[in-house]
């Protein structure tokens, strides 16, 4: 399911303001307005269409500030990654109700709005370069990525066993998230012993 189908499209004219420390609206600064900014901005350094103004703090920025992800975009990426990871576990064993319930429960802290199985992302191969899990590597720190994988391992290991299909999903997801196979396998062993 695409982000637009989930109602997660990026709002227009929103950026992450470094002064305000959050998502704010902005407006482009027009050429007529640049004359009034000469005391703040070197006119030879910027072109007239390369400036924007935060409507919250009234600070003028170079449009390069738009390259920083908004909070909305970061949350959206995490949402899509969680739906992909836990959806893949469900699809690996669709008849296993324990896995389905566990995966939907484990997914909830990561998603923007709670969803059903219909909201899961359909990715055939998690090793593909354009899968949503790869998009969170620069958004989530290592500890957060390990925690997401730990939740997936907890869902996958039932009754002290793990199915080969789930192991395949975990290894591919770990690769996409930058989590080593050794780490994944050691956590699976721990989970099997505690089950």
52 located within any domain: yes
Give the tens place of pLDDT for each residue, 52-106: 889 899 888 888 888 777 777 888 888 888 888 888 888 888 888 888 888 888 8
Range of the domain at 60: 14-67
CATH of the domain at 183: 1.10.3680
Alpha carbons 96 and 90: distance in angstroms, whole number: 8
155 located within any domain: yes
Alpha carbons 31 and 41: distance in angstroms, whole number: 13
Given a contact cutoff of 8 angstroms between Cβ atoms, the answer to whether 112 and 78 are in contact is no
136 located within any domain: yes
User: Based on the domain organization, do 107 and 176 belong to the same domain?
Assistant: yes
Alpha carbons 168 and 170: distance in angstroms, whole number: 5
Q: How confident is the model at residue 147 (pLDDT cuts 50, 70, 90)?
A: very high
Reply yes or no on whether the pLDDT at 47 is more than 70: no
- 0.75 exceeded by pTM: no
Give the tens place of pLDDT for each residue, 150-192: 999 999 988 888 888 889 889 989 998 999 999 999 999 999 9
């Amino acid at each position: 399911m695409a982000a637009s189908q989930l109602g997660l499209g990026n709002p227009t004219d929103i950026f992450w303001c470094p002064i305000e420390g959050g998502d704010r609206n902005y407006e482009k600064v027009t050429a007529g307005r640049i004359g009034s900014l000469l005391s703040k901005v070197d006119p030879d350094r910027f072109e007239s269409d390369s400036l924007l103004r935060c409507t919250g703090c009234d600070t003028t920025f170079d449009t390069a500030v738009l390259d920083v992800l908004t909070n909305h975009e970061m949350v959206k990426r995490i949402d899509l990654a969680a739906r992909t990871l836990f959806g893949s576990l469900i699809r690996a064993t669709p008849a296993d109700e324990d896995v389905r319930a566990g995966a939907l429960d484990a997914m909830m802290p990561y998603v923007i709005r709670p969803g059903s199985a219909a909201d899961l992302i359909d990715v055939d191969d998690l090793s593909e370069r354009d899968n949503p899990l790869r998009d969170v590597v620069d958004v989530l720190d290592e500890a957060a990525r390990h925690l997401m994988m730990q939740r997936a391992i907890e869902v996958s290991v039932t009754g002290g066993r793990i199915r080969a299909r789930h192991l395949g999903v975990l290894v591919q997801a770990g690769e996409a998230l930058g989590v080593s196979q050794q780490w994944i396998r050691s956590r699976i062993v721990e989970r099997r012993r505690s089950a």
